Amino acid sequence: MKIFQNLNFVLVDTSHPGNIGACARAMNSMGILNLSLVNPKEFPSKESEARAKSGKKVLDKAKIHENLNEAINTSNLVIGTSARSRSMPWPMMEINDLGKVINESLARKEEVSIVFGNEAFGLDNEDLGKCDFHLQIPTTKDSSLNLSHAVQIVAHEIHKESLSDLSIQVREVELATSMQKEKLMEHIEIVLELLDFYDHQNPKQVPARLTRLIKRMQLDKLEIGILRGILTKLEDRLTNN
């Protein structure tokens, strides 16, 4: 049975400890053992343990974080799951591509995180904006999946793909981490500010769209380094003249 290293499932703002246990059980059944909990309402709890069954070991080594950044900072690929389409269209991951994309990324020794939201509200736009891709599992209209069912489906897709003979596409350089992408975006904003680029009527639009562009490009560490170098030169010119 394959155990997935460097793959984390992140549950954000989970309300019901029973659901955390059910997610641990679902993950364990597919060989995914790394669980991160962001701001869980109640954890640890007897109810989680009762629902986890053989997944108790997943609960025992679960990590607790105060916010999503803390959980995904070192990840190279972050996929946010959502039951609904959101106002700002984001690069979508098709469920049929999910297993392949993730297994290839893991084969390159990258770290992957899949993020799941609160039972009632899902992930908010801020947290969705931190993800490289969004994944919506197709369901019938007017129905929603229980959190642990969504976890089970995603875990199964990843596990299923790992069983097949992969023709793994190896990139030469590791993908940039979530934090490196965030720092690049901060740097771009500084330079745009110096350039007086912003439309002050609508200041939020440009950074949000650029963030989306950066996520979509799947930049590697070398490419980020080049862009940061260009930005540093620009910044020097703009401040010294």
Select the residue whose beta carbon is closest to ligand SAH and give its number.
122
Q: Which listed residue (67, 85, 125, 139) binds ligand SAH by CB under 6 A?
A: 139
Smallest distance from ligand SAH to CB 174, Å: 27
List binders of ligand SAH among 4-63 (CB under 6 A).
none
141 is a site residue for ligand SAH (CB under 6 A): no
112 is a site residue for ligand SAH (CB under 6 A): no
Q: Which listed residue (64, 137, 192, 231) binds ligand SAH by CB under 6 A?
A: 137
147 is a site residue for ligand SAH (CB under 6 A): yes
Instruction: Compare residues 59 and 147 and give the one whose CB is closer to ligand SAH.
Output: 147
Q: Mind giving me the DSSP string for the chain?
A: ---EEEEEEEEES---HHHHHHHHHHHHHTTEEEEEEES-SS-S-HHHHHHHGGGHHHHHT-EEESSHHHHHTT-SEEEEE-SS--SS--PEEPHHHHHHHHHHHHHTT--EEEEE-BTTTB--HHHHTTSSEEE-----TT----HHHHHHHHHHHHHHHHHS-------SSPBPPHHHHHHHHHHHHHHHHHTT---TTSTTHHHHHHHHHHHHHT-BHHHHHHHHHHHHHHHHHHHH-
Q: Using the rule CB under 6 A, give the single segment among 62-70, 140-148, 188-196, 218-226 that binds ligand SAH.
A: 140-148
Q: Which listed residue (7, 71, 150, 158) binds ligand SAH by CB under 6 A?
A: 150
Tell me which residues touch ligand SAH (CB under 6 A): 81-84, 116-117, 119, 121-123, 135-137, 139, 144-145, 147, 150
